[in-house]
Amino acid sequence: MVAPGFVLAAPKSGSGKTTISTGLLRVLSEQMTVAPFKVGPDYIDPGYHLLAAGRASRNLDPFLLGGADTVRSLYHTGAEDADIAVVEGVMGLFDGRFDPHGDVLCPEGSTADVARQLGLPVVLVVDTRGTAQSIGALVRGFATAHPQVRVAGVIFNRLASAKHEAMLTQAVQAVGVPVVGAVPSFPAIELPSRHLGLVTAVEQGQTAEAAIAAMADHVRTHVDVSALIALAQPPTVNTTPFAPLVGVARAHDLLRGNAPIPGDAAAHPDGPTVAVAAGPAFSFLYTEHLELLAAFGATTVLFDPLHDPLPEASALVIPGGFPELYAETLAARDDVRRDIHRLIADGGVVYGECAGLLWLGRSLDSHRMLDVVPTDAVMGARLTLGYRQATALTPSPLTAEGMRVCGHEFHHTKLVSTPEEQWSPMWGWRDNDDVPMREGFVRGKVMASYLHLHPAAMVDQWRQLVATLA
Question: 276 and 196, same structural domain?
Answer: no
What separation in angstroms does the CA of 435 have from each of 83, 99, 425?
Answer: 49, 18, 16
Question: 188 and 56, same structural domain?
Answer: yes
Ordered DSSP codes for 178-190 = -EEEEEE--GGGP
Strand ranges, E, within 217-288: 273-277
Q: Is residue 238 part of a domain?
A: no
Q: Is residue 227 part of a domain?
A: yes
Q: Is residue 321 part of a domain?
A: yes
Q: Is residue 89 part of a domain?
A: yes
Which of 205, 231, 257 terminates a domain? The answer is: 231
Distance CA 285, CA 308 (A): 18
Here the CATH number for the domain that contains residue 265 is: 3.40.50.880
Element (H, E) at 300: strand 299-303
Distance CA 386, CA 117 (A): 22
Q: Is residue 237 part of a domain?
A: no
Question: 226 and 322, same structural domain?
Answer: no
Question: Are 89 and 17 a contacting pair, CB within 8 Å?
Answer: yes
202, 354, 364, 372: the catalytic one is 354
Task: Write the pLDDT tens digit of every residue in 281-307.
Answer: 999 999 999 999 999 999 999 999 999
Containing structural domain, residue 77: 5-231
106 is catalytic: no
pLDDT of residue 191: 57
pLDDT of residue 190: 57
Q: Is residue 239 part of a domain?
A: no
Ordered DSSP codes for 418-467 = --SSS-B--EEEE-TT--EEEE-EEETTEEEES-B--GGG-HHHHHHHHH
Question: 136 and 78, same structural domain?
Answer: yes
Question: 378 and 310, same structural domain?
Answer: yes
Strand ranges, E, within 209-288: 273-277
pLDDT of residue 200: 57
Peptide bond into 235 cis (omega under 30): no
Question: 177 and 293, same structural domain?
Answer: no
Mean pLDDT by 10 residues, the chain (470 residues): 95 93 97 97 90 94 95 97 97 89 86 97 97 96 96 96 96 97 78 50 68 92 97 96 92 73 60 93 93 93 95 96 95 98 98 97 97 94 88 96 95 88 93 89 97 97 92
Question: 254 and 207, same structural domain?
Answer: no
Here the CATH number for the domain that contains residue 190 is: 3.40.50.300
Question: 310 and 178, same structural domain?
Answer: no
What separation in angstroms does the CA of 105 have from each of 90, 246, 279, 386?
Answer: 16, 35, 40, 20
Question: Are 110 and 140 a contacting pair, CB within 8 Å?
Answer: no
Question: 220 and 258, same structural domain?
Answer: no
Distance CA 204, CA 197 (A): 14
What separation in angstroms does the CA of 307 have from each of 48, 278, 317, 355, 465?
Answer: 23, 11, 17, 17, 28
pLDDT, the chain, mean? 91
What backbone torsions phi and psi does residue 196 show, to the nearest 5 degrees? -120, 25
- Interhelix angle 111-118/68-79, nearest 10 degrees: 70
Q: Is residue 356 part of a domain?
A: yes
Question: 121 and 60, same structural domain?
Answer: yes
Instruction: Tell the burial category of 297 from Cβ atoms under 10 Å away from its Cβ (0-12, 13-18, 19+).
Output: middle
**Within a 13 Å sphere around the CA of 92, how many CA atoms are in the beta-carbon half?**
12
Question: 128 and 177, same structural domain?
Answer: yes
181: Cβ–Cβ under 8 A, 6 or more apart, which residues?
A: 20, 154, 155, 156, 219, 222, 223, 224, 228
Which of 231, 263, 281 terminates a domain? The answer is: 231
Residue positions counted in the chain: 470
Question: Are 398 and 351 a contacting pair, CB within 8 Å?
Answer: yes
Question: 214 and 295, same structural domain?
Answer: no
pLDDT of residue 196: 42
DSSP 3-state of 385: strand
Which of 175, 196, 231 terminates a domain? The answer is: 231
Q: Is residue 163 part of a domain?
A: yes
DSSP 3-state of 387: strand
Number of domains in the chain: 2
pLDDT of residue 195: 45
Give the bridge partners for 417, in sequence order: 376
Nearest residue to 455 (alpha-carbon basis) of 272, 286, 274, 249: 286
Question: Are 6 and 86 a contacting pair, CB within 8 Å?
Answer: yes
Task: Write the pLDDT tens digit of every residue in 304-333.
Answer: 999 999 999 999 999 999 999 999 999 999
What separation in angstroms does the CA of 327 have from each of 330, 334, 380?
Answer: 5, 13, 15
